[in-house]
Structure 1
Amino acid sequence: MKASDFYFDLPEELIAQVPLEERDSSRLMVLDKNSGEIEHKIFHDVLDYFNEGDTLVLNNTRVLPARLIGEKEDSKGKIEFLLLKRLGNDRWECLAKPGKRAKIGTKFSFGDGKLKAEVKEIGEEGNRIIDFTYEGIFEQVLDELGQMPLPPYIHEKLDDKERYQTVYSKEKGSAAAPTAGLHFTNELLEKIKAKGVNVAYLTLHVGLGTFRPVKVEDVENHNMHSEFYQLSKETADIINNTKKAGKRVIAVGTTSTRTLETIADSEGNLSESSGWTDIFIYPGYNFKVVDALITNFHLPESTLIMLVSALAGKENILNAYNTAVKEGYRFFSFGDAMFIH
């Protein structure tokens, strides 16, 4: 299986630069994974496709304001760090830009010294291992000094930082938002519950590895970065009971999907769990838990388009994506949504 098998032509003007004023007013493409049939709706219409007893699974991770801009303590040369992964209390794996300024032993200052950093090691792919020092609580310092780490294809400034968070975000730790969840409002979630649909939560802290391009031609040789997940007993029980009752598990986003499929045993049963996952789902994969998926439109040749192709079939997905381009759907983080059922 080749990465180029998942290519489609995406005009740059279809990459959404800003979120819509109303979260649930984006367009929704509804794709039947068996027949390939496509319907065009508005996101809040997704309610019509849920049945009593189904379970909607949401990733409640919260994006850290993980982009720090500061200077070298000696030369005042500018530096930008992007926090990727917490390795210890005050030790982080970071991307550094420009990397040549971030040699081992170099010290940096942010916010007039409110936060200080020292490069301890150079890790895989050139990422820096950084020790931070500060007074108070790290998350509060980060809230004050950090910026939202928007993806590189978004060039507009985000006026409201909360628009890159889901309304149900809770557990801080992501370097990127689980963007399929950005379409939900509290009002829509209440309507979903009122219809008799279970709403359950898990946590997967999204790393930038999720968005890494597949650089090997042979898909099976691509290595996924690992990401931290947590699943409570309560959520495991809700999903297990849903499956036993013959109802559907509807995952919101590829992050929820990968977490559920990581934890499930061969029979599709879940139990309370936490750990790291580097699961890579591509066509040929047999889903153990997830029956339906709400997702955004993804990059050509990405692991994300491979995952949705595993669920709905490559031909159906590429036809849906080419239709989305023709119909002027908005792509990526702030773009429109798809419901695969």
Structure 2
Amino acid sequence: MEFHFLPIFTFLSLALVASHAALPSEVYWKSVLPNTLMPKAVKDLLHPEWMEDKSTSVGVGKGGVNVGAGKGKQGGGTNVGVGKGGVSVGTSQKGKPVYVGVSPGPVPFLYKYAATENQLHDNPNVALFFLEKDMHVGTKMNLHFIKSTNAATFLPHMVAKSIPFASDKIPDILNRFSVKPNSVEAEAMKKTIKECEEPGITGEEKYCATSLESMIDFSTSKLGKNVQAMSTEVEKETQLQEYRIAGVKKMAGGDTVICHKQSYAYAVFYCHKTHNTKAYMISLKGTDGTAAKAVAVCHKDTSAWNPKHLAFQVLKVTPGTVPICHFLPEDHIVWVSN
């Protein structure tokens, strides 16, 4: 599933000026977070030409958006893809493989939603979730690390701000990206906007970031600027195989912000801060020798989750009884205060 940027009608020039809205994303990261390493998940979502060339120009018009890079030369147009929401990392229970996808069911990391019949029927005994008591060196899990099909990348902050992001603006949004109203792409975009507009669960502070800059601003407003940002990294894509936990490192800090990539025409992240949540970096070793460093998040209090959420139905536990953990896909980001 791909979206295509169309030719521009108006150009906006991006320059290195004092206003943070005009700073290239990498420069803004360094200015706000000089001591925080940029994780691979973020680097992969930045266009190299926007990072390296200060003369990048971006145009926005009613007919669409086009990005041109390099010393006044207009680019040939940029394609951004919206994947089907496939999950990058899956775990299994009792040795069974994982094939849990974000679509057509609800995103499994949004805890107000019940699992759909499709999710339960297709994979009744598998999920991304596991119990905290099983997170220790020596534990074996059947994991399938796959690359996300969602290739959408960040737009420059000024461009993202200029594009509507609201349910009552959907016809205009679809027109800008030349997306047919009844297409699969359109439904994915409508779903993302709706989820962003709905209130969160009790104790959840949520925000949908439509640019890297807005993600940085939300995360630092909740955690301060002395933070770490992490993402899952795997040496290579593998088939389903057994992995053994070789190390567990609990990340410092008492608060976390977790940002989940959504299906949209450009990179949009559902970010939320929840109470009693801890982040871990798990070292894994596959039977074929593949090494992985997977981010796991453990929720100590699940009492506000939907009782029919996928995690409860797979793990056979009830809300608020035991801590529940899950691995994160490679294109999701966890922010932790130091």
Q: TM-score, normalised by structure 1?
A: 0.24
Structure 2 length normalisation: TM-score? 0.24
